[in-house]
Chain A
Amino acid sequence: MKRQLRCALLAENRSGVTSLLFAIMMVPLILILGLAIDFGFYIDASSKLDLAADAAAMHAVRAASMAASNGTTYQNAGLLAGEQWFAAQAEVVPGVALTGGAPVPPSEAGKNCTTGTGPSPATVTVTVCYTAPTYTATVTYTGTTNIFFSKLVGISTWPIAGTATSTITNSFVDFGIMIDNSQSMLIGATTTDITTMNENTPCAQVTANPAITDNNGYPGLSMQAYSYFFNGLNNPYGQGPIGYYYYQNANGQIVPQTLPSLTGPAAGQQCDPKLIGGCAYPASIIYGGAGKPLLLTKNTGNNIIGACNNGGGAPGAAGPNTPQAPCAFACHQNANGGDYYAEARKLGVTLRLDIVQQAAQNLLTTMQNYSKPPQTLLNVGIYTFNSSLQPVYPCTSLTGCASPFGDDLGQASKDIKPCTGTETTGCLIPPITLDKPNTYFPNVFAQAAAFLAGKPGDGLSQATAYKNLFIITDGVSDWNIDANNQPVGVNPDGSPNGGVQQAVGPLDQLIVKPCDALKNAGFTIYVLYTPYQPLPTWTYSYTQQASLPAGVNYYPYGVTLQNFVTENDPTTFPDYNPQLTQPDTPIQAALRACATNSNGFYTANDSADINNALQQMLATALNSAARVTN
């Protein structure tokens, strides 16, 4: 009873109850507080380790991909990079003990995976896998966090774990490389080369005549028609005939002649570099004689290369003088074997086409470095074009070709080796016959679209490779149109016949619309526009104007003569650098429209720039950013 009473009293006694409750409550309260702090540190550790794992996975795929490109073992590179960079960044997190990662996830089994844990004690597991064309790196860490307050409830550690995966897909890519090898691409590669050509090639049919040498030891040139004297030394634009020439008389004797009466224009009357017709020229010139070529050599002291007019009439007789410019192009061949191309080779002149082919070879070397086992991802096809498309590699014909792309990049490089001399084999000789003179994009692009058939895919297999087309051209395209913009004088195959007239239609008909056919075929088109170096003389596109049939518009090089002159005038366009703010020239604008993307159009006109542009085009086409997948 007494005890019961005491208990009842105790139960009724409310003094200190709040304190008691508070004291009791303190235990879970402190525990909860402790857990919150523990959890905060756990989250903190987890954040740091996840950051380390993410970055390490990125390092690992990057290293693996680059090592494969470099011919080293991608597995080791990937593992090493992943382990090291995880360790570098997983700074000491209080109370965390890492014990290595989990084994390879089942989903990665069978994907050619390699797993490593780095030096002992293991802190991380890195798995590098490659299934063409994708590299995957998985970084996994597991461990425990020591905790502080949770020990009060008998928990000494919390498990901590994380996984990060990065991938890089280096896609299968087919590259078609179309190289313009029409005569306009046979321009001298540098201004020095152009000058050399100008000095040595009056625009006429010329053959070297080794039987004749002048007193400087230069070989003589035999010429038959359409030529004129120019002084190549003192005035880069030509000055009218002065100096000496030689001709072969009826008896086959070499007859030296001086032209004291044919002096050059007076001071201030030098030839306009743009329009030679504005110059004052002698009205007549001495004939070399029909069928008896005038023989020309360099003059002593003045570096004169002679030329002659018409060639009709009796040797030594005077005849009308039709000015004809020297030529910067290794073209204007004749069917008898004498051609400027051979002359250029003999003179050691480097042609625009040579440096383009050299740059294409460099491009193939870069591709080879990239496309090594196990990631042999690139196939190429090389094609030249002028009035039509000519496959070079892997096929040499438009018909009967199993595939327009091949994987032997070394062979492709050999197949486009530029010629340096008068080789007949072992290098890619540009067309020097009259039937392939001029570029004709409508025909070329139509042939290319048909020949390179096959829709591009997702790049994940050879059969579904991405398809890129590199087009290297000066954009100069020659065909005649009438007043209705219809082609005049077109051959059955679509190419323009003749080729004497340098006339073209509107550029959208000539380039932009034909190019659409290629785009519609699914190609990503990159265009490298190689505008002419500034030409010292312009009559190449001028003197034939009178021979155009009535009603045919005359647009040298795709634009009006005035535009053409402006386009090539170094004072108007001091630099062809596309980064400058100058407006596009008409050809440039048309070719830019042909490129699929704005970053797929390049302009370059010297060796280094052409080389760089091609490498940039490749880099753009192959660019594949790494990404974190989870």
Chain B
Amino acid sequence: MLRHRRLCRRAVAALEFALVAPVLVIMIISVFEICKALIIRQEVINTAHSISLTASLIAVQGNGTTALSHSQVQAVESDIFVEIPWLRDGIEQGNASVTLSGIEFSEQDPGSTGTVCAPYTNCATSFSPYVAWSVPYQPAQNGLSSYGITFAALTRPCGKMTSGILDITGDANTPITYANFMTTLRVGGITYPDPILVADVSYTETISSFPLTLFAGNTLTFVASAYWPVRVIPFNANTSPGDQIGSGELTVYDPANQDKSATAHCKANGVSLP
């Protein structure tokens, strides 16, 4: 009897499969979660890329200057739903932030005097970036759909960037994280300053599947920043790049249509630029 039972091989495969199945399932889920995370990670980069280059294009005015209205900025920032369709579909419901900023460069501090290098040449002096304006995506305040996603109203601190600037030659290995990405601009080694639009995008994904929930506090946050020059050549190149701030030549944010939120952009907050 006992021998018979020992020899009984019925349902062995099922039993063994039952033993390995959890491992298999965990592996499959892991592959799914990892791939999903990698896809979102790439889509976050693409979002920053897309927003910055689109903004730089629509900012070009018929007369060769550049300007963006508040609604244009909001519309461009909503590109996140194009680049990360899962946000629209309800598959992803994490927290996000999208911010578009206008960054200009000045060789010297506002009001001071000093040597200004010849325009659009290799300037020996290093330039300081100034945040001229910084506008977060706030769909609720602007009548746009948020698809249930919570958008954090992050802005780059206005005015001269005095900290957090990473020198591409000396401090290149400092990782950019969610904690520092809004204060970081990797332009420390730039000797050829040119105004840029900066798109900062973050997305925090909640991990719900074991065993990845063991890692990273159940969430993964991806950040990406894209720097993009404006797409127009100022036909009159007499302006020194050191004098570009507030010159209206580039990256003008329309102050007549001010940010409707409490975290208004710089000029609405009264941060005066030279």
Contacts and interface: CB of A to CB of B under 8 A. Distances in A.
Contacts of A29: 27
Interface string B61-82: 0111100000000000000000
A9 to B, nearest CB: 12
Given A16-B16, A33-B27, A51-B49, A619 B235 contact: yes
Contact of B191 (A17, A47, A59, A80): A80
B49 A54 contact: yes
Given A36-B34, A76-B122, A626 B236 contact: no
Nearest to B172: A92
B17 A18 contact: yes
A170 B235 CA distance: 10
Given A54-B49, A370-B235, A619-B65, A88 B190 contact: yes
Given A66-B237, A366-B235, A623 B120 contact: no
Contacts of B233: 62, 65-66, 69, 168, 170, 624, 626
Given A44-B45, A599-B63, A58 B235 contact: no
Contacts of B236: 69, 366, 369-370, 615, 619
A628 interface: yes
A89 B191 contact: no
A77 B192 contact: yes
A44 B42 contact: yes
B130 interface: no
10 contacts: A14-B13, A17-B16, A18-B19, A29-B27, A36-B31, A43-B38, A58-B56, A58-B229, A70-B120, A85-B192
Interface string A363-375: 0001001100000
B272 to A, nearest CB: 24
Interface in B1-52: 9, 12-13, 16-17, 19-20, 23-24, 27, 30-31, 34-35, 38-39, 41-42, 45-46, 48-49, 52
A37 B38 CA distance: 8
Contact of A616 (B38, B60, B63, B230): B63
Given A36-B35, A85-B227, A620 B232 contact: no
A345 interface: no
Contact of A51 (B31, B172, B226, B235): B226
Given A40-B35, A62-B194, A77-B192, A69 B235 contact: yes
Interface in B165-186: 168, 172-173, 175-176, 186
B121 to A, nearest CB: 5
Interface residues of A, number: 61
Q: Which 10 A-B residue pairings sit nearest by Cβ, starting from the closest?
A: A40-B38, A18-B16, A619-B64, A623-B64, A69-B237, A70-B237, A620-B63, A47-B45, A599-B62, A81-B192
A275 interface: no
Interface in A507-543: none
A599 B52 CA distance: 26
B107 to A, nearest CB: 15
Contacts of A628: 53
Contacts of B19: 18-19
A625 B229 contact: no
A59 B226 CA distance: 13
Give the interface residue-count category, chain B. Answer: 35 or more
A625 to B, nearest CB: 5
Given A92-B172, A92-B175, A628-B53, A58 B192 contact: no
Interface of B: 9, 12-13, 16-17, 19-20, 23-24, 27, 30-31, 34-35, 38-39, 41-42, 45-46, 48-49, 52-53, 56-57, 60, 62-65, 118-122, 168, 172-173, 175-176, 186-187, 189-192, 194, 224, 226-238
A619 B34 CA distance: 51
A47 B201 CA distance: 14
A91 B63 contact: no
B30 to A, nearest CB: 7
A161 interface: no
A50 B229 CA distance: 15
Given A40-B35, A63-B192, A84-B190, A623 B62 contact: yes
A15 interface: yes
A417 interface: no
Contacts of A63: 120, 192, 194
A19 B20 contact: yes
B241 to A, nearest CB: 9
Contacts of B34: 33, 36-37, 40
A446 interface: no
A170 B39 CA distance: 40
A87 B192 CA distance: 12
Given A85-B190, A599-B63, A623-B232, 19 more contacts: A17-B13, A18-B12, A18-B13, A18-B20, A22-B24, A36-B35, A44-B42, A55-B226, A63-B120, A63-B194, A66-B237, A72-B118, A77-B120, A88-B189, A91-B186, A92-B173, A619-B64, A623-B63, A623-B235
B229 A51 contact: no
A616 B194 CA distance: 22
Contacts of B56: 58
A15 B38 CA distance: 39
B60 A623 contact: yes
B226 to A, nearest CB: 6
Contacts of B41: 40, 44
Interface string A584-626: 0000000000000101000000000000000110111011111
A618 B191 contact: no
